[in-house]
Amino acid sequence: MVGKMEGKKLLFANLNSKYTFSEWGRIFFSVINTFKESGYIISILDRPELHNLEVYGTPTFDLENVEIVDSAPADTEDYVYLYDHKDSQFNNAKWQKQIYLKYDLHSKYWFEEPMIMPFPVHPLQEIYGYIPRLPELREVKRNIRILFAGDIDKYKRVWIRHPEEKLPRQIIVESIKDNLDQDKLQIIQDEDTFQQVMNGEFNNKFVIIDNDTQRIDGKLWLDTLAKCDFFFSPPGIVMPMCHNITEAMAIGSIPFTNYPEWMQPNLEHGVNCIAFDSQQDLMEKIDFVFGMDDASIQKMKKNAIEYYEKYLKKAAFVEKLEARPQNKVTILYYTEGNVAFNRDKLNKHSVLMRDTTIPTDPDNIRYKIMKFLGNV
């Protein structure tokens, strides 16, 4: 059930984790916006952090049906309670549902079934209003086979070593520049060339936009993404996750990536992504993509959009959350800070790396404990 009053869905948020307010306010905005986009009227308990939000956090209070309040509602039974720290005053109250926002994706969570929040599009794309544009962006004529645009400098450190060492972005892009045949590679370094490629005939090449000399205006970002069949999505500066992989799938540009296992559920090579691991594998996969026929590409594009609609769309996540029978549910969010401090703890037992489906075998010890705890 969800908090309701006269047909309205109500949420009270009590947030003060350092992670919630990190990353220039991106996390705070994205979490609140997820519930706002799903029809909630949101009351956020006032605290100093709300008045010192950084650039991506401040637009939160321009969202419709979001306000700061001085105290909890008297009628808590009509509300969903969202929190990122335990507070007995509030946790002991009776709510429609309690949602515990956490960030420890490296932890095991053997005896509960947390939900991993889908990594969102960048807050700027939310502010620019990307959702109404999705139908037209999905129908844009593609004229670039593979596209990469993004920062490279300082993306050289290896942070992730499970299930194997994750090649960093700078090494990957430098490898492409050094090893790909020049007749299959085009590097855009000025506005004139950018416009020619974006508006020209089909270009069966790997196109790299040099961010140092040709940075794309954020308002034109999705229009640029919509020009490619495949968007190259190497890891971010600390954790693999980047907003661009979600943005690409939203508009039907197929991700070409080396972190399919970080998506929940995992992306599948040849189905809704092109996945690679080593530098040799990368070059082989690039050649494979150059040789793909249009029917195969269109099928993968369709699959990428379906994945977005089912697993990355904010409303789809909240619907699954609302359908959970448990009164208390943990949700997990990807954040660079937590990954940086806990990178060595990530292993095959981490919730991010395993299936979080509740066991159904009554003789399974995990099932028995979860049943005892009321989590099945």
Per residue, the 3-state secondary structure of the chain, as one string, reads CCCEECCEEEEEEECCCCCCCCHHHHHHHHHHHHHHCCCEEEEEECCHHHHCCCCCCHHHHHCCCEEEECCCCCCHHHCEEEECCCCHHHHCCCCCEEEEEECCCCCCCCCCCCEECCCCCCHHHHHHCCHHHHHHHHCCCCCEEEEEEECCCCCCCCCCCCCCCCCCHHHHHHHHHHHCCHHHEEEECCHHHHHHHHHCCCEEEEEEEECCCCCCCHHHHHHHHCCEEEEEECCCCCCCCCHHHHHHHHHCCEEEECCHHHCCCCCCECCCEEECCCHHHHHHHHHHHHCCCHHHHHHHHHHHHHHHHHHHCHHHHHHHHHHCCCCEEEEECCCHHHHHHHHHHCCCCCHHHCCCCCCCCCCCHHHHHHHHCCCC
Q: Roughly what angle, to the nearest 10 degrees, separates helices 243-251 and 294-307?
A: 120
What CATH number does the domain containing 172 carry? 3.40.50.2000
pLDDT of 222 over the 70 cut: yes
Q: Is 33 in the same domain as 17?
A: yes
Average pLDDT, the chain: 93
Q: Roughly what angle, to the nearest 10 degrees, separates helices 314-323 and 26-36?
A: 70
Q: Is 293 in the same domain as 330?
A: no
pLDDT of 338 over the 70 cut: yes
Question: pLDDT digit string (tens) for 276-321?
Answer: 999 999 999 999 999 999 999 999 999 999 999 999 999 999 999 9
Q: Is 154 in the same domain as 288?
A: yes
Q: Is 185 in the same domain as 306?
A: yes
pLDDT of 6 over the 70 cut: no
pLDDT of 230 over the 50 cut: yes
pLDDT of 368 over the 70 cut: no
Domain boundary among 271, 295, 312: 312
- The reported pLDDT for the residue numbered 354 is 77
Q: Which of 158-167, 261-270, 336-345 has the highest mean pLDDT?
A: 261-270
pLDDT of 370 over the 90 cut: no
- The reported pLDDT for the residue numbered 1 is 36
Q: Is 163 in the same domain as 277?
A: yes
Q: Is 76 in the same domain as 177?
A: no
pLDDT of 206 over the 60 cut: yes
Question: What's the domain count of the chain?
Answer: 2
Question: pLDDT digit string (tens) for 145-196?
Answer: 999 999 988 888 889 999 888 999 999 999 999 999 999 999 999 999 999 9
Domain boundary among 312, 338, 361: 312
Average the pLDDT over 116-129 and give the result. 96
Give the confidence band of 357 by pLDDT, cuts at 50, 70, 90.
low
- The reported pLDDT for the residue numbered 111 is 84
Q: Is 114 in the same domain as 129?
A: no
Q: Is 151 in the same domain as 214?
A: yes
Domain boundary among 312, 337, 352: 312
- The reported pLDDT for the residue numbered 3 is 47
- The reported pLDDT for the residue numbered 2 is 44
Give the confidence band of 35 by pLDDT, cuts at 50, 70, 90.
very high
What CATH number does the domain containing 101 carry? 3.40.50
- Range of the structural domain that residue 75 is part of: 4-118+314-372
Q: Is 31 in the same domain as 10?
A: yes
